[in-house]
Amino acid sequence: MTGLRTLIARACALFSRRRDEEGLAEEIAEHLELLAIEYRRLGLPAADARAAARREFGGVDQIKERVRDQRGFLWFDMLRRDIRYAVRSLSRAPVFTLAAVSTLALGMGATTAIFSVVNAALLRPLPYPRSQDLWSVRTQFTDGRVTTGLVSPVELRRLKDAASPNVTVALSTRQDLTLLPPDGEPRAVAASGVDEGFFPLFGLAPVLGTGFPPEYFHRNGPTGAVISTRLWHSAFAGDPNIVGKTLSLTTGDMPILGVAAPEMDVPRGTDVWINLQLNPQDTGHALDGYLRMLPGTPPEMLRSRLGGVAMSLGRDYPGPERNRAFVIEPFVNAMVGDLRPVLIIVFSATALLFILACVNVANLLLARASRRSREVAIRAAIGASRMRIATQLLTESAVLATIGTVAGLAVSYAAVRALLRYGASQLPRLQAVPFDTPVLLFAIAMLVVCALGVGLVPVLQLAGRGIEQRLRERARTSGGTRATHRALRMMIAAEVAVAVTIVAGTGLLVRSFLNLQRNDPGFVSRGRLTFDVLLPFQKYRGPGVQSAWEQTLFTRLRHIHGVTAVAGSSDFPLLPGESGSTSLFRLDGWPEGHEHVVAFMHVVSPAFFETMGIRTLRGRAFADYDRPSTAPVAVVNESFVRTYLEGRDPLTAQISLGLGRVDPTTSRAIVGVVDDVKYGSLWSSADPAFYFVDNQSGNTFRLHVVVATNLPDPRMAIPEVRAQVQMMDPQLAFTVEPVSGVVAATLTRQKLGTTLMLLFGMVALMLAAIGIYGIIAYSSADRYSEIATRMALGATRANIFSLLVRQGLAVAAAGAAIGMGMALGAGRLASSWLYEVRPSDPWILGSALAVVVGVAVTATLIPVGRAARIDPAPLLRLE
């Protein structure tokens, strides 16, 4: 209790310093006066009485000092004095201060910027209640067969039966719709069909309305829509009476049942949620699955239970469900996807960069400390304790680090804005990168680490040594101690090691990125445009209506100046969510009861392969004479041949859809083999796929159109393409973009990561060069007298030069060796993210080594050359 009172009293005293001080002075003066009166009464003359009073009282100033110590916080006072002193001494060395602050600002800024991105994407909790209990669920074949990884209604039903009470399950499926707003242009909206459990699972209450009533999920129940807050504002101006109004779509109208919470964003970008009426016997895999566990359910328990469900499904539905397993993943990971490794790699690189910046500042401080050796010695001689000197030096580092951090925060703020503008804002969870508490805490943690780590260097060097020893040293000729030189050598080694790691890492990522970019996707993107439209089926229903419409559209587009070919397809390579679906198929000659096999199925117009620049390897591509009336045909890709037609002439094979025996009435002859096209991503290999021609297949409502041109820039044709499509149907919403843009968009995150690494690599190299230069310059200047002595004893300039270079290079070599080890380790950790580059690639490691060592040698040679040119005579005379 009294401890607390004392604390409060002391804290209050911090604010009443002047009044307290005056009071004390007055009080003591009165005390002395009364004492003096006493002595005068004993007969002493006035002057002697005053002197006697002072003697009896004791040292007035010492007493005042002791009262002051008692009054406030001693350390606070000292801190205040130390800070003032530090600011003064830093402002006396502006070049040093500027160098140190800007180095720190760069290191801190980069690290904080990347941390705030990591925080936004990976660390920040999702906006759903108890989001750590949310998981995504997918399926996978354990025998290597291909699948989209989606979930079927049968699986949902079994999961719901088996999983309760620990788990709730929900599903969604992406659909796309064209909205006809009350006024304005038709617009494409991302829509998702959702089951009964979906909204309760995510747990966000709607802004308006109550969501879907239960009967909406019964078979043949009504259909309605919940719209996103985003759409509510952009298309309906935030109409407060929106619930019950009609949502007009090209496919028909439906009532709006509610407005979802603004944070609700599953599946990402969804603007309209529509109730799904699932058939519980349906084994089609077309749904995204979500799980919510009760708090505290161990994931292993969930996994084993899911394993059990998969087993029983396999028994009951041997076709589609055999050897199928559930794969669960925390929902946040599923959302962020492959952004995660990119961020982790880049973040590790910035951490190394931060270390480099700290080493450089430590080295600047060290050089400065050796110049201040005498100042410290004098302070020690007039009574400062080691502790006081150490505190003072640490304060100076802390002031430096604080200024660096503030500047670093500004740098990171600017860097994050630049990153977002550069395209990072299109990545999941990065629409906004908040500058929140975790980011601030991180910056403060870095500040502390930096101030302590960097600040301790001069402290160890200066405060550790005895006073006499230091006073004996002559400022000019002082050779740093053995410990100082060891510290300097370690710093050079650290600089080289870190630089090698970052440069090698940059090399690996750049190489990997170039490999990806040069990667042949199986089609030609140059000179081509693409767009897709959603054809409302009511309007295009009826035999041949849609085909006729497409024919007319293609003909009109072909007449545009510069257009050489036009084709359509049910899906499009590398377009997220549009890269095709799988279908069950059978080949002739397969035994009865052969296992359930799926491959990707694409429906294309006859000119598709030619228009996309996809090579036909064997047989023929589709042609205009493949009509509904002629024999049905199919084309397969090379990977399909490799997987299913090994040892057979593919052009003699028959393919049909579905299970069971090949039905001669629906089977198709394989007439050609085309090159593999990478539909999923540039870095995964193509899956087995077969193509049907649209004339001989049911129409798909989504139509992807590709337009090949011979224009230098295909974008020149965009206005005319738009105009033609709008003339055909003014209610269609679509965006025309170059195919090369579609390909580039799949590499956004890789490009971001690579660009950042390139930037960091260059900054790291620069910092290392400056750092090594500074250390060598300082340590060779420190050895001038030694050099002079050696010269006096007969060493030539060449001897001196080679001595210093050898010593410098030995250290750099040690650092380089450590750096190689670190680079290899880092490369191995990141190897899953590298594309066709081995982490031990000798060319990359070798060139990283060469670049860094080259920079280190250059940074060594300049100051060493200067040292070898010194004139020994004046130096020796000074000794």
Give the footprint of another protein on this chain (CB under 8 A). 2, 5-6, 9-10, 23-24, 26-28, 30-31, 33-35, 37, 56-60, 62-63, 66-67, 69-71
- Distance in Å, CB of 51 to another protein, minimum: 14
User: Are 201 and 194 spatial neighbours (Cβ–Cβ below 8 Å)?
Assistant: no
Q: How far lies 193's CA from each of 268, 270, 745, in Å?
A: 13, 10, 26
| Cβ closest to another protein, residue 66 vs residue 561 | 66
| Cβ closest to another protein, residue 58 vs residue 182 | 58
| Cβ closest to another protein, residue 63 vs residue 524 | 63
| Cβ closest to another protein, residue 69 vs residue 520 | 69
- Distance in Å, CB of 452 to another protein, minimum: 32
Say which residues have a Cβ less than 8 Å from residue 653's Cβ, sequence separation at least 6: 587, 588, 589, 645, 669, 670
| Cβ closest to another protein, residue 26 vs residue 338 | 26
Is 300 strand, coil or helix? Answer: helix
Say which residues have a Cβ less than 8 Å from residue 49's Cβ, sequence separation at least 6: 36, 37, 39, 40
- Distance in Å, CB of 42 to another protein, minimum: 14
Q: How far lies 123's CA from each of 142, 588, 782, 879, in Å?
A: 32, 52, 48, 61
- Distance in Å, CB of 48 to another protein, minimum: 17
User: Are 570 and 689 spatial neighbours (Cβ–Cβ below 8 Å)?
Assistant: no
Is 532 strand, coil or helix? Answer: strand
- What does the alpha-carbon distance between residue 867 and residue 807 come to, in Å, rounded to a whole number? 14
| Cβ closest to another protein, residue 2 vs residue 665 | 2
Among 561, 508, 572, 557, which Cα is nearest to 741's?
Answer: 572
- What does the alpha-carbon distance between residue 624 and residue 616 come to, in Å, rounded to a whole number? 16
7 CB burial (10 A radius; 0-12, 13-18, 19+): exposed
Per-residue tokens: 244: 């019950």
Can you name the residues that pair with 258 across neighbouring β-strands? 209, 226
- Distance in Å, CB of 82 to another protein, minimum: 24
- Distance in Å, CB of 53 to another protein, minimum: 9
Is the preceding peptide bond at 94 cis, omega within 30 degrees of 0?
A: no
- Distance in Å, CB of 44 to another protein, minimum: 17
Measured in Å, how far apart are the chain's first and last C-alpha atoms?
63
Among 499, 418, 326, which Cα is nearest to 110's?
Answer: 418
555 CB burial (10 A radius; 0-12, 13-18, 19+): exposed
| Cβ closest to another protein, residue 56 vs residue 185 | 56
- Distance in Å, CB of 7 to another protein, minimum: 9
Q: How far lies 92's CA from each of 95, 389, 456, in Å?
A: 9, 19, 22
Say which residues have a Cβ less than 8 Å from residue 11's Cβ, sequence separation at least 6: 73
Say which residues have a Cβ less than 8 Å from residue 732's Cβ, sequence separation at least 6: 178, 186, 250, 533, 534, 535, 725, 726
Is 823 strand, coil or helix? Answer: helix
| Cβ closest to another protein, residue 38 vs residue 588 | 38
Among 193, 170, 173, which Cα is nearest to 290's?
Answer: 170
- What does the alpha-carbon distance between residue 224 and residue 843 come to, in Å, rounded to a whole number? 60
Can you name the residues that pair with 189 across neighbouring β-strands? 177
- Distance in Å, CB of 501 to another protein, minimum: 55
Among 858, 864, 859, 856, which Cα is nearest to 784's?
Answer: 864
- H-assigned helices in 680-717: none
Q: Tell me which H or E stretch contains 140.
A: strand 134-141
- Distance in Å, CB of 49 to another protein, minimum: 14
- Distance in Å, CB of 63 to another protein, minimum: 4
- Distance in Å, CB of 17 to another protein, minimum: 14
* 654-657 and 581-587 strand pairing: antiparallel
User: Are 250 and 178 spatial neighbours (Cβ–Cβ below 8 Å)?
Assistant: yes
- Distance in Å, CB of 67 to another protein, minimum: 5
Per-residue tokens: 6: 């004392």
Among 357, 452, 454, 372, which Cα is nearest to 770's?
Answer: 357
- Distance in Å, CB of 383 to another protein, minimum: 21
| Cβ closest to another protein, residue 72 vs residue 458 | 72
| Cβ closest to another protein, residue 22 vs residue 185 | 22
| Cβ closest to another protein, residue 21 vs residue 610 | 21
| Cβ closest to another protein, residue 12 vs residue 548 | 12
- Distance in Å, CB of 15 to another protein, minimum: 15
| Cβ closest to another protein, residue 32 vs residue 467 | 32
| Cβ closest to another protein, residue 67 vs residue 745 | 67
| Cβ closest to another protein, residue 52 vs residue 805 | 52
- Distance in Å, CB of 71 to another protein, minimum: 6
- Distance in Å, CB of 58 to another protein, minimum: 3
- What does the alpha-carbon distance between residue 193 and residue 279 come to, in Å, rounded to a whole number? 14
User: Are 600 and 149 spatial neighbours (Cβ–Cβ below 8 Å)?
Assistant: no
| Cβ closest to another protein, residue 24 vs residue 510 | 24
62 CB burial (10 A radius; 0-12, 13-18, 19+): exposed
Please give the radius of gyration of the chain, using alpha carbons only, rounded to the nearest integer.
38
| Cβ closest to another protein, residue 37 vs residue 301 | 37
| Cβ closest to another protein, residue 66 vs residue 218 | 66
Identify the DSSP state of 234: H
- Distance in Å, CB of 391 to another protein, minimum: 23
